[in-house]
Amino acid sequence: MLKTILHINPDKTLSHIAPEIYGQFSEHLGRCIYDGIYVGEDSDIPNVKGMRKDVVEALRALHLPVLRWPGGCFADEYHWRDGIGPKENRRRMVNTSWGGTVEDNSFGTHEFMELCDQLDCEPYIAINLGSGTVQEAAEWIEYMTADGDSTITNLRKENGRTKPWHLKYVGIGNENWGCGGSMSPDFYANEYKRYQCFCKNYGDNKLYKVACGPNAEDYNWTKELMSRIDHLQANGISLHCYTVPGDWEHRGSATDFSDEEYYSTISNALHIEDIIKKHLAIMDEYDPNHDIDLLVDEWGTWYNVEPGTNPAFLYQQNTMRDAIVAAASLNIFNKHSDRIAMANIAQVVNVLQAMILTEDTKILKTPTYDVFQMYKEHQNATLVESYVADAANRINEPVISYNDISIPALSESVSVTEQNGQKLLTITLSNTSLTDSLSVELELPIKYSFCGKASVAMLHAEARAYNTFDDPDRVRAFETEEDWNGNLQIVSLPACSVCRICCYVS
Ligand code: AHR
């Protein structure tokens, strides 16, 4: 058994954890929107205004804060006017980003806003900068958010929506260094400034504008972009960072992987922390007051698609390995919540590291779903200081070594909320070892003690275990209540596990 000590200081509050860190992403890609979310009102699958009831209900339980749409790469070929008005008149287009399927535009702005209403979440719209026009972008914002008697707002009213919608988050372009137009950073920065200038605030609606930031380790993009924009033009810049077990040519199977691939996946996922730190350091040079946030608005695992499925649909299974990636990534985002304002795992249903998979009338919740369920208590809480080992060294030990890969056994973060005059701690832990359990001694400062019942949720299974439509609860978190007292408490984490503890301290 491995052992470590986690020091927790409830008095050392560090940053507010934006609920948006627990955000999601939906794209017109494969079976994410159609089948996964939207089946149409005439479907035999129970739905409300075309949205699958089972999927909406499952997502509501996650307290999903924000949903990004319509892409992804698709955003830069999407023309919003194609997706409004009577469905039979909507333009049928070829989705050239994702397999050349015919997109009938039956899910458009009104349907997306309806979905956000049903999910009780903020919409996050990605505007077409790659193949659109400034006028088109400006009019989309007007269509969604303006009141009054203009031709555009009257069009919205004719289409059934009298009041403007509330819209805060607007991304201007997507991956414009790649699928969004193969632009150089200086060219994009100029385009961004022109587009953002015409994305207006109407009435009380205040936009939060996001510029297309870097791909993973492209530090030059961040430097060039940050040197050309300021906080009056952008509230945040995005970062896209996916985890692959090897490299993009050798992504491997989602379910059938070696121990080495497991450890390389976790190691690559943990590497996002270095990437974030380096981008933040560059941002600091140009924005020392931290007026511009970082939004990791695409992240997650990316494997080969499930055998027999369309390679352009990016449909992959989801194992306990993905749960460890999700837990470790969310702990990292929590730890950097002073600068990270949002993160959106890719993607919510049926694509990449999904929360939910669907097959006709059936759905299953993946192990990643359970992690988001367990971590939801961090939303809107305050990050507090927590660290492994002694105060002088803060070395995250023990370390797991496999061939030339070394990763810390423990991933952790701790937050606090005040409830009825008491402090409620949420402690999230993950043991990354495939073989050894990990004993974690939680240590509070001497003046504090754990008081009363602790709710302990545990998710653990063999790394390759996953849920199927015939066995949908094979990997599932379970919750127990334990009596905790004193300022020291030992938690035993089985190999390959994720744990969330909620307990009062005083
Ligand atoms: O999430 C799938 C794709 O990954 C998105 O469309 C794109 O932005 C990224 O490359």
Phi, psi dihedrals of residue 153, rounded to the nearest 5° = -70, -35
pLDDT of residue 103: 98
Q: What is the C-alpha separation between 8 and 30, in angstroms, rounded?
A: 44
Q: What pLDDT digit, counting tens, does each position of 252-293 carry?
A: 999 999 999 999 999 999 999 999 999 999 999 999 999 999
Show the CA angle centred on residue 339, arms to residues 337 and 344, nearest 5°.
70
pLDDT of residue 390: 65
What average pLDDT does this structure show over 82-96? 97
pLDDT of residue 436: 96
Residue 64 clears pLDDT 60, i.e. is over it = yes
Give the torsion sign (CA, 378, 379, 383, 387).
Answer: positive
Interval between CA 97 and ligand 1 midpoint (Å): 9
Q: What pLDDT digit, counting tens, does each position of 38-47 carry?
A: 999 999 999 9
H/E segment holding residue 47? strand 47-48
pLDDT of residue 281: 98
pLDDT of residue 397: 83
| Of residues 178, 92, 63, the one with CA closest to residue 129 | 178
What average pLDDT does this structure show over 50-71? 98
The distance from CA 330 to its chain's CA centroid, rounded to whole angstroms, is: 9
The overall average pLDDT reported for the chain is: 97
Q: What pLDDT digit, counting tens, does each position of 110-145 carry?
A: 999 999 999 999 999 999 999 999 999 999 999 999
Ligand 1 pocket: which of 32, 103, 240 to mutate (most atoms within 8 A of CB)? 240
Q: What is the C-alpha separation between 149 and 157, in angstroms, rounded?
A: 10
Q: What pLDDT digit, counting tens, does each position of 336-391 carry?
A: 999 999 999 999 999 999 999 999 999 999 999 999 999 999 999 999 999 997 65
Ligand 1 touching residue 181 (CB < 6 A): no
For residue 175, give the ligand 1 atom closest to its CA: 8
Sorting pLDDT into bands at 50, 70 and 90, what band is 235?
A: very high
Ligand 1 touching residue 71 (CB < 6 A): yes
Q: What pLDDT digit, counting tens, does each position of 385-408 carry?
A: 999 976 566 677 899 999 999 999
For residue 242, give the ligand 1 atom closest to its CA: 4
Ligand 1 touching residue 298 (CB < 6 A): yes
Catalytic residue numbers?
175, 298
Ligand 1 touching residue 175 (CB < 6 A): yes
